[in-house]
Amino acid sequence: MESAAEAMGMAQIAAHPRPDSFGRFGKFGGKYVPETLMHALSELEAAFHSVVKDQGFQKELDGLLRDYVGRETPLYFAERLTNHYRREDLNHTGAHKINNAIAQALLAKRLGKRRIIAETGAGQHGVATATACARLGLECIIYMGALDMERQSLNVFRMKLLGAKVRAVHSGTATLKDATSEAIRDWVTNVETTHYILGSAAGPHPYPMMVRDFQAVIGKETRAQAMERWGGKPDVLIACVGGGSNAMGLFHEFVEDPDVRLIGVEAAGCGLESGWVLHGAMSYLLQDDDGQIIEPHSISAGLDYPGVGPEHSFLKILDLEGIIPALETSHAIAYLEVLCPTLRDQRTVVVNCSGRGDKDVQTAIKHLQI
């Protein structure tokens, strides 16, 4: 029997819904960037639309996703927790980030760019980008907040082992927001030779669309595997939300299915109520009364972004299923204790296990007093 990935085409890129001609989804999105970047963004958008139709590009990307990344990933039923887990943690590099990084690096080569820059929070996008650059022979510079470098020292070492230069960002809160700002400054300066691999479904158009579509393989595999497993769709999909890439990767395939509940779980503390421009796009942001961006409240570096009880869940799935989830994933798992008592029997719930927790061991030891 052919696998779910073979049946659907592993890298089949989504065709709906698309933003308008200004790169906006309703009032959100757009291109709010310096004039020096407008040509690069237009060039990138044209190249993206071209490769969507290019069978040669699709074949090469399919091969990399299958043979290098290790797709398709399993849809695992956790018997002791009675729900399903989308095992993106089993990808090469340990998270969903490689899906987008390898695709954008391949696209950058098509554009003749030899220098790659990226931002990273938890380090997973940085590791994925460094890995893709090593595989494709590209120079790699990663911007990372100094605070995140302390929290994620293992991933910093991995990036350096892979040949990337990791540049610490000490400005602002020294986290993902500031690393992204510094990466954009680099891009403005070196736009002719450099491609910026943005890891989140954020930033100026066409990045949110591109990241979503390159990550959409997660949801496509989930639909095909659910059909094989129980002959239908999941009833509920749950994913943690920081910059949105893993959530949109899972959700996008099901956005037009009204009978499938899509639940994004963000770090508690302060919610998203205000809308403004950050990093080239209109979105909901965490802001103070003066309109300044404020620091998110999260133990997890990967959710430490101001645009859109994990500890207990981290230990629970480790104890009951032998899976070490990333702290980001643990936020989504924690919501199950709120959700499950409200569901009727025989509801199928799929949680996106977006990454593994090796990188969080030191943080867990510190906060959980293990």
| Contact partners, residue 124, CB within 8 Å, separation at least 6 | 93, 94, 95, 97, 155, 302, 326, 355, 359
- C-alpha 151/C-alpha 171 separation (Å) is 17
Q: Which of 31, 45, 88, 97 is catalytic?
A: 97
- C-alpha 370/C-alpha 362 separation (Å) is 10
Amino acid symbol at 270: C
Helix/strand/coil for 21:
coil
Can you list the alpha helix ranges (DSSP code H) found in 165-216?
176-189, 207-215
Annotation says 45 is catalytic: no
Q: Which of 245, 300, 313, 354 is catalytic?
A: 354
Annotation says 153 is catalytic: no
Q: Which of 45, 119, 221, 266 is catalytic?
A: 119
Annotation says 97 is catalytic: yes
- C-alpha 183/C-alpha 200 separation (Å) is 13
Instruction: Identify each DSSP E strand in the chain by its residue range.
Output: 24-25, 28-29, 75-78, 83-87, 115-120, 139-145, 165-169, 194-196, 236-240, 261-265, 274-278, 281-285, 349-353
Active-site residue set? 97, 119, 354
